[in-house]
Amino acid sequence: MGIKGKMFGELESKGAIKIGRKTVKYEDVSTGKRGAKLVYTGDCTPSEKTVTAAKGADLLVHEATYASDKEAEAREHLHSTAADAARIAGKAGVKKLVLIHVSGRYKTPALHLSDARAIFPETEVAADGLEFSI
């Protein structure tokens, strides 16, 4: 159709534009696919701001330095536990949770996974080469 640049932006925002004598509708030239929403936290303690930011996200990537057995230590060092991340994912209604920044003190992520999945089953722990479609 030759719709480019500012003209396409106008079409997208208005839903339809007139080109010459023809009215072009956005749905006629677009697949209308919604973009994916990804929310990524850095080091953080549990926060309602994170819940708000992650509301309805396809994927929440959240730090979980500690398993739930170290909750006091997590707070002292301004970090989250796997259970904290899972509660945030549940409150925010995200589709999938990926835990990152797991402390090297843990030999495997098994404890983090069991803590989180008990609250939010759609949880994985990040690893090199791990891929997700969102």
Identify the band that residue 48 occupies on the pLDDT scale cut at 50, 70 and 90: very high
- Of 35, 1, 31, 40, the C-alpha closest to 19 is 1
Q: Rounded to the nearest 5°, which phi and psi values hold at 112? A: -60, -45
**DSSP for 82-103?**
HHHHHHHHHHHT-SEEEEE---
Give the pLDDT confidence of 76-120 residue by residue, as tens digits. Answer: 999 999 999 999 999 999 999 999 999 999 999 999 999 999 999
Q: For the chain, what percent of residues have pLDDT higher than 70?
A: 97
pTM of the predicted protein model: 0.76
Domain limits of the chain?
A: 1-32, 38-125
Q: What is the largest CA-CA distance in the chain?
A: 69
Residue 94's pLDDT is 99
